Amino acid sequence: MINDKQVLYSGMQATGNLTIGNYLGALKNWLTLNEEYECFFGVMDLHSLTVRQNPAEFRKKAKNLFILYIAAGLDPKKNCIYFQSHVSAHAELAWLLNCFTYVGELNRMTQFKDKAAKHKDNINAGLFTYPVLMAADILLYQADFVPVGKDQKQHLEITRDIAERVNAVYGDVFTVPEPFFGKAGTKIMSLQEPTQKMSKSDENPNGSIYLMDDPDTIVRKFKRAVTDSFSEIRYSEEQPGVSNLLEIYSACSGTPIADAEKEFEGRGYGEFKEAVAEAVISVLKPMQDEYARLSGEKAYIDGLIRENDEKAAYYANKTLRKVRKKMGLNEIPR
């Protein structure tokens, strides 16, 4: 508990370009959580290092993600929005937790198998122990809740196992986090492969709408979006492409899917795709304008980074000192 509120923790990796799927599926639903929870949202740049990065581009992308969090509506005064790499307690606790994590547990992580298959030339130890760093992220802030998608359920389970294992040896050290099931985020699929989730790392740029795409690009991508041969705008398993577009339209316009079906009854796919594009543009344009404004306010942004990093470090180091003492490490003489 912090300020009489339960703690909620989440974050995004500082690689790739965020998509409309990232926004509608997660970021949009973070915006009001601070009313009920003490929220920590990380720019997860340490996690990104499991894949080789261009240093200059990587630094820029991490800072851009911080700015984008704020441009999307996260209040940096009400939420703690910080850089994972700026709080050294993450790396230190990860090592301590490595000593309480079994190799067999890590071998069962499906995400490691998937990423190892994609990066056969760089199957590094960081990729293997990624879930331990994720556990450190969560446990440092004594998080009560963590929003999780299907691909992160295993990681929360191992986090809980590690926390319970440490608690069994040393007593009440960590809060054991629970999955957060708030308002369900909209699951957005690829525009080119509508049976697969939209991804910021999609090799086909036409499959994803990125948050910084300009209006012409958005319209072009939706024109090329895969539909089907039914020539009917209806939400069904038989029409994954059309159903995905209906999901996007509904989420961006606020129109229930059933009403959207009626709205486009008897109208062609071309007209429908154009309407979906306009709905997306109406959501992204204000965010893009605010992002552009904030990007020019270097002193203001740097001040927010320092302020939020300090807040995160205060709570993280409080937990780390407790863990070090419990495990028998000597304190630094003062």
Q: Which residues are tagged catalytic?
A: 115, 197, 200
Amino acid at the residue 53: Q
Alpha carbon distance 104, 106 (integer Å): 5
Q: Which residues of 226-255 are buried (b: 16+ CB within 10 A; e: fewer)?
A: bbeeeebbebeeebbbbbbbbbbbbbbbeb
What would the DSSP string read from start to end of 150-164? GGGHHHHHHHHHHHH
DSSP state, residue 48: G
Q: Which residues pair with 178 in a beta bridge?
A: 145
Is the CB of residue 283 less than 8 Å from the CB of residue 252? Answer: yes
- Within 13 A of 142's CA, how many CA atoms are on the CB side? 19
β-bridge partners, 189 = 197
